Structure 1
Amino acid sequence: MLRHIVLATTAAATALPAFAEEWDVSLWGARRAFTEHVEKLAELVEEKTDGEFTLNISYGGLSNNRENLDGISIGAFEMAQFCAGYHADKNPSITVLELPFLGISTLEQEREISQALYEHPAVQEDLSRWNATLLMPSPLPQYNIVGTGEAPRTLDDYAGLAVRATGGIGRAMEEVGAVPTSMTASEVRQAMDSGVITAASFAPHAHMSFGTVENADWWTTNLNPGTVNCPVVVNTDALEALPDEYREALLSSVDEALDYYVTNYEGATMDAWGPMLDEKGIEQVTYSDEDLAAFREAVAEPAAQAWIEENAARGLPAQELYDFVTGMVEQDG
């Protein structure tokens, strides 16, 4: 919760406010590629304010990851990260970015489109119900699947496969006969070890961070059914209560934090991924262009139309949001 610590003024005082500010930040798991922009943001804010505005980052100590948006809404903490697919009903507007086969191919493109969508009035109104202001995305590459047992060498082999898959990726899995289960990242390893699921859909950093590769037998190299959208949000009241200098320090640091995140993910994370698969003897399954084209044709349009109908019924300008995103993808293409 928002705290002010009054400081003694001196003749050498700068233009910074005469109190220190501490914000609590609710993340989960452990520090990893997925959280490096938040870590970098904290570093930059502290530097810019001479240590008078600090972000106290907690990995699971403040809230369950499915409840981070709720915690933001009541001011239990000032900043948090969450994934839209964890609770699509709470943030339906941004789940458009989790539709399968949107055609987004790079982290920079994911970042650009996410940041643009976050500025859309309907999206801002949607998140305002939780007293939340979208600060920055957590760009992730296309998800692929790690699993145990016999590898699905064709799309027909997915029939009956119990797989952790959320949002649009879950819908894509249903189309090939798999049985998707939605669970948070921190629940997946136990579910795999106990046999509740036999496969999990993640980005590479999460497969490493949450241990799904430890007992894995196979990995899909190019299924690429989609990704998840996991924004960092701030409590709107806390943001508005910040002194101008602190607010500027925070907001002006977002792009640099995201630059650092993308560079780190594309470098250190992906450089480690391939060698680790080889070291663990994990079979790499690659599908034919014909199989993938059939998969996209079967999944993309029905999922998009279902999303539009469902969210138009909620009162969202769903077709407009979908056209906004796909229009940016086409423009980049």
Structure 2
Amino acid sequence: MTTSAQSGVFRELRRLLRCNVGSGREPKEDKMKYHTAALLGAALSLLGVAAGPSRALELTYGTYTSPTQTTFRTGTGPLLDRITRDTNGEITFEAFTGGSMGGPKELLGNAGSGIIDTTSVVDIYVKAQLPHSALMSSMLILGKNPKVMSAAMNEMQLLHCPSCEEDRTKANVIGLGWTATGTYHLICKEPINTLDELKGLKIRATSGMGRAMQSMGATAVSITTAEMYEAMQRGQVDCVAGAAAWLTTYNLKDFSRYIVEDSLGSYFGTMLFAVNLDVWGDLSDSQRAAIRSNISQSVVDTLFAYDDDHETGIRDLKALGGEVLHADQAFVDAVETARKEEYAFTIQSGKDQGIDNAEELIDTFHGLVDKWTDIVAEIGNDKEAFKAALDREIFDKL
């Protein structure tokens, strides 16, 4: 039997096992013999057909977000469909949403171990496994323009960061593209728009955004996006630092009635599509090419969809009687002070974490942010021109 056929057998066995992993239930003792026999029978069946004609390959994709969340709805979901189309059905996907295959802290490990084949990864939730990537994306306060930051992150990760690739290899995945959220804003239960009002409040803010909120006098509560709805419901946080789209896609509008229009930055480190390295190695050159050729479109579609979902979130908030507020000058000045200090702070933080190339890493990324600031300023909000720039400067060079 060929190596490719063997891999197909093992993938199918993993698929059968996933029915228990996804449900979170263990088989009862009196059913153990049945499960074992079923798996062995499946293996024998697969071995019997392995030498025959090639079959369509069904891969699994797992995300902790809902099907309506911006990144999956407009980025990854359509990406899976395009891959199936462009491989003429050779690759199909079964998508598991809503955390059924793991939460934001488990998905990287589940993809690396083969529980799932593909996933999206938020690096700041798994910074122990992806320290170099998470160091860069920790600088949320700098993300005033998500398109600039996403482009810089893609170029950095794919062309200029061997240590990032080493981290992913150790995790047994390959990363193919990165995207960003919409701009972050203060989303609150009560009307808060001054620096004095912010002090002492509990703000859901992760990584570098948490540092910024702490420096402004708030108490940062570091929880994932999967946890923030319940945290706001239970009064564990007063506000969320996040995208206006989340008012709708994460239903924060159920508890929030106020949003501060001034941008706090954005998160730009979502690994849009990560593939188990063993699975990636089993694909043909044409199949890998079909996947790669579709990544930049998903990056662009996600970024521009966040603009639309921003407007939807604001509209939904206003429909419930909510208000859009403007920060006072002291608030704006405090954010700008945090931005000016962020590069130097992050370099020192990286050194403290034992990242030997922290200064080189951040300096290189800083240069790419400057480069893409100029490119985006020149092309404006032209979606096709932005995709063309991504392809020209990054994806066509892979």
Relative to the length of structure 2, the TM-score reads 0.75
Aligned ranges 1:260-275 → 2 under 5 Å? 260-267=301-308, 269-275=309-315
In 2: Cα distance, 1:229 partner to 1:241 partner: 27
Residues 1:234 and 1:58: Cα distance change in structure 2 (over 3 Å)? same
Alignment of 1:146 with 2:182, yes or no, is: no
The equivalent of 2:219 in structure 1 is: 179
Paired residue secondary structure (2:316): helix
Per-residue deviation, residues 55-107 of structure 1 (Å, max 9, x unmatched) = 221112211221111112212111111212223232221221231432x4434
In 2: Cα distance, 1:56 partner to 1:175 partner: 44
1:117–1:123 CA contact under 8 A, matched in 2: no
Aligned ranges 1:188-267 → 2 under 5 Å? 188-232=228-272, 233-267=274-308
Aligned ranges 1:8-19 → 2 under 5 Å? 9=53, 18-19=54-55
Unpaired runs of 5+ residues, structure 2, are: 1-9, 13-45, 375-398
1:73–1:235 CA contact under 8 A, matched in 2: yes
Alignment of 1:122 with 2:179, yes or no, is: no
Larger Cα Rg: Structure 1 or Structure 2? 2
Larger relative contact order (CA 8 Å, sep ≥ 6): 1
1:72–1:234 CA contact under 8 A, matched in 2: yes
The equivalent of 2:84 in structure 1 is: 46
In 1: Cα distance, 2:50 partner to 2:347 partner: 50
Q: 1:125 Cα deviation (Å)? A: 1.4
Q: 1:43 Cα deviation (Å)? A: 0.8
Unpaired runs of 5+ residues, structure 1, are: 10-17
Q: 1:274 Cα deviation (Å)? A: 2.8
Alignment of 1:37 with 2:75, yes or no, is: yes
The equivalent of 1:24 in structure 2 is: 60
The amino acid of 2:277's aligned partner reads: T
Paired residue secondary structure (1:82): strand
Residues 1:122 and 1:27: Cα distance change in structure 2 (over 3 Å)? same
Residues 1:89 and 1:327: Cα distance change in structure 2 (over 3 Å)? same
**RMSD over aligned Cα, in angstroms?**
2.2
In 2: Cα distance, 1:146 partner to 1:294 partner: 18
2:193–2:328 CA contact under 8 A, matched in 1: no
Q: 1:56 aligns with which of 94, 97, 109?
A: 94
The equivalent of 1:66 in structure 2 is: 105
Residues 1:260 and 1:53: Cα distance change in structure 2 (over 3 Å)? same
Paired residue secondary structure (1:19): coil
The amino acid of 1:53's aligned partner reads: I
Q: 1:141 Cα deviation (Å)? A: 2.1
Alignment of 1:2 with 2:11, yes or no, is: yes
Aligned length: 321
Q: 1:33 Cα deviation (Å)? A: 1.2
Aligned ranges 1:282-293 → 2 under 5 Å? 282-288=322-328, 291-293=331-333
In 2: Cα distance, 1:222 partner to 1:40 partner: 31
Relative to the length of structure 1, the TM-score reads 0.88
Q: 2:147 aligns with which of 108, 111, 115?
A: 108
Residues 1:124 and 1:326: Cα distance change in structure 2 (over 3 Å)? same
Per-residue deviation, residues 132-189 of structure 1 (Å, max 9, x unmatched) = 211111321221121113x222112211111111111111110111111111212111
Residues 1:2 and 1:127: Cα distance change in structure 2 (over 3 Å)? same
1:144–1:202 CA contact under 8 A, matched in 2: yes
The equivalent of 2:357 in structure 1 is: 317
Paired residue secondary structure (2:253): coil
Residues 1:8 and 1:129: Cα distance change in structure 2 (over 3 Å)? closer
Alignment of 1:83 with 2:122, yes or no, is: yes
Paired residue secondary structure (1:219): strand
